[in-house]
Structure 1
Amino acid sequence: MPPRLASAVSLVLLAACPGDTNTSTGTDSAGTTDTTTTTTGLTEPTTDAPPTSTSTSTTTTDATATTTTSGDPPTTGTTTDAPATTDVPATTSSTTDASTTTGGAVDGELGCAPADLFDFAPFAAADCFCGDACDCYRDVPYGEGVSWNEPTLDGQQLSQAVDIYVPKDMSDMPAVLWAHANGSSKSFAANSGLANNALGPAIEAGQVVVSVEFRHPVTNYDDGAPNTDLVDAVQFIRCNAPALGIDPTRIAGLASSRGTLMVWTAVQPELADPNSPDPVKRQSSRLAGVYAAQAQTSYWGQWIADTFYDPQLHPLLLGQLPANDIALGHAVGDVTAAAPPIHLAYIDPLADLPIDAQSIGMVDPVHLPNFGDELCKAYAAAGHPEDCSVDYEVPQNMIHAGSVSFFADLFGG
């Protein structure tokens, strides 16, 4: 087998390898560039017979990306950088009754009682990336506070924790949970493309930003990582919504590559445990929506092989997978009528299928845009194609910028 083919296929499968970097270099319209090069793996079934896809590619130029919603013809739209700024710190509100979020039926609680709120004061930090526009809290533990050695960061020890950036002088704010790519952590540079194109504009628009450190069921497979760390983070933030000035019905996700575990999280049914003695576990796990860059919408190897690849490549693909990869997560198969709005952005055009030994070296198998195409087909099959859309051929330095308009629409301004 040609070395190029073996190398390209390994990118799909070897999720524990370093690679999914998320750095900022060069310049864009905001003064920085996001460079996303990632490695993440594969997952789970909820259907007996995986569907197959036959897609055609679309093209765009410069900062204009092609947007498609499953079942509709492509339309073009230009991504923008940032909304108007607003100085903003939180006042508190308390919500404990269950209701309905943008993302569908909610069976869990929406906010903890005052006695159950977390004490954020010891975690207050002075060096907020947003300067005087926000208050911030660093390394706040959530879930079980589990620690692990991250293979994509040379074994650096990480733990379940979040950094929280709260706009000043506002209440009932939406919240955006950021889930990073492999090769990076919840920390990010103040002058990065991510900060300038997405997280900074979110603060300016009056949205609380929560950057999450989390395990991934493929990347951290050897540590027995579950696929529920982001669920735990959602429930922790929702429990403490009254303390942070967050509207508990308006919590959404922003993700890149590895972080698109957030897509799996978003399409799950309600995961709250109403009988738990832990008030956090009684919180709704539902998200109002997700903006995902370079997303994998399944980690189930057999489905990926059957859907995207020529049968001659299947032995190589499937021979490198975890034995129980079927359980890692298959967002495409979990979409229902209650799944929330999701927008996906990819650097490349749709690949011609099936991918064979001659064409595999021409695609990014980890961030195959066809992952997004298949998710939108699932939304169409569930009866609401308008809630899934994809941008193809987005300039690399603008891959997160589309989140600004997405969240403005999702949160109502």
Structure 2
Amino acid sequence: MRRRSMARRLARLGVLGFFVLISIAGAEQVRKQIGPNKPSPDRADMRYGPHPRNVLDFWKATATDGHPGPRPVVVFFHGGGFIGGSKSSVPAWLVDRCLAAGISVASANYRLSSHAPYPAPMLDGALAIQFLRSRAAELGIDPNRIAGCGNSAGGGIALWTGMHEDLADPGSPDPVRRQSSRLACLGLVGAQTSYDPRFIKTLVGGRAHEHVALRPLFGVTSDAQADSPEVHRLYEEASPINYASADDPPMILFYSEPNAPVAADARVGLGIHHPRFGAALKARLDPLGVECRLRHGDDYRDREHPEQAMYADLVEFFREHLRP
């Protein structure tokens, strides 16, 4: 009964149920969802860019796989609809399981839409990757084994960075920006594969396309602006699905919202973590030969600890694709 109750609660909460309960939940409930207390990072508030939000925490792993030397790293970007959130929300179970597998972890803040609209959050995600690659020797990182990870908006940042063309600028005077932004693999929870309201309306239905985070992401303040050619171009550029190509990294995507049609009269924003986002991306990537695995909360419904089982699958995917 308790397991079924947990599954129903995760479905109601949507994908964030895998990571945190809504803000009205008690501290003990939150602790149970995100796991035990995280170990303190080895390096806290490392500055990777000029904005106050351009900071990350870093946990350094040691070899556990019989291959001493530089370690792979998973870079986590928090959710929050581009209007909130913090690097401190990286799940403890993710950190613990990665470290136990010999995988280092970084968790990054980035500019929110209140600081700067698209492409600022995505460019910050890429810059965090470039920064870590530039500090590979110092941090004991293998620059060829960097994975992107995140939930909701953070998953979108990781996905955009992983699918976008390399943002390295070989002619830049900044040694960080000369680094590659490419990723070896991606592990995402509740990621939107498109931020185009027109696409979302067709794909998901209901009123998901009216989610309160979408207009601020693009700096839109009026209906006329939202329907302008300039903003339509931004919608398309911000949508990872539009960058699908044969050289995209392997990825795994987790969803927990019900895999069912969204009613036309549903509340505004319901469906913004719908499994159809993942299915649409997989339909683009499969013909290109890019590995794209999909998992749903229902897959873990009968597990004693569904969130831990999900993290175990996520970290196993990283282990598989970050081998030397």
TM range (shorter): 0.7 to 0.9
CA contact (8 A) 1:20 1:257 kept: no
1:317, distance to aligned residue in structure 2 (A):
7.6
1:298 pairs with one of 172, 194, 219 = 194
> How many Å separate the matches in 1 of 2:239 and 2:210?
21
1:161 pairs with 2:55: yes
Kindly tell me the number of residue pairs found equivalent between the two proteins.
271
1:185 pairs with 2:89: no
1:384 pairs with one of 263, 286, 289 = 289
The one-letter code matched in structure 2 to 1:384 is: G
Question: Matched residue of 1:402: which SS?
Answer: helix
> How many Å separate the matches in 2 of 1:223 and 1:315?
21
Name the structure where strand makes up a greater proportion of residues: 1
2:166 pairs with one of 262, 266, 270 = 270
Mapping of residues 54-73 of structure 1, within 5 Å? none
> How many Å separate the matches in 2 of 1:314 and 1:400?
27
Write out per-residue CA displacement over residues 353-404 of structure 1, whole angstroms, 9 at most, x where no aligned residue.
xx4425x3599412111101111111024x215x101101245634544211
CA contact (8 A) 1:294 1:367 kept: yes
1:337 pairs with 2:246: yes
* Residue in structure 2 matched with residue 195 of structure 1 by the alignment: 92
Write out per-residue CA displacement over residues 15-52 of structure 1, whole angstroms, 9 at most, x where no aligned residue.
xxxx986987549xxx83249xxxxxxxxxxxxxxxxx
Mapping of residues 205-244 of structure 1, within 5 Å? 205-216=101-112, 220=113, 223-225=116-118, 226=120, 227-244=122-139
Write out per-residue CA displacement over residues 252-304 of structure 1, whole angstroms, 9 at most, x where no aligned residue.
01211121121111101111011111111110110011110111111111111
1:233, distance to aligned residue in structure 2 (A):
0.2
* Residue in structure 1 matched with residue 17 of structure 2 by the alignment: none
1:250 pairs with 2:145: yes
Question: Matched residue of 2:102: which SS?
Answer: coil
Runs of 5+ consecutive residues of structure 2 not aligned to the other structure: 1-20, 221-225
Higher mean alpha-carbon deviation, 276-285 vs 175-184, is at 175-184
The one-letter code matched in structure 2 to 1:303 is: F
1:222, distance to aligned residue in structure 2 (A):
6.2
1:210, distance to aligned residue in structure 2 (A):
0.5
The one-letter code matched in structure 1 to 2:57 is: D
CA contact (8 A) 1:173 1:246 kept: yes
Question: Matched residue of 1:176: which SS?
Answer: strand
Question: Matched residue of 2:241: which SS?
Answer: helix
CA contact (8 A) 1:21 1:181 kept: no
TM-score, normalised to structure 2's length?
Answer: 0.73
1:327 pairs with 2:223: no
CA contact (8 A) 1:333 1:378 kept: no
CA contact (8 A) 1:290 1:341 kept: yes
Question: Matched residue of 2:257: which SS?
Answer: coil
Runs of 5+ consecutive residues of structure 1 not aligned to the other structure: 1-18, 36-127, 148-158
1:373 pairs with 2:279: yes
CA contact (8 A) 1:264 1:330 kept: yes
> How many Å separate the matches in 2 of 1:233 and 1:200?
21
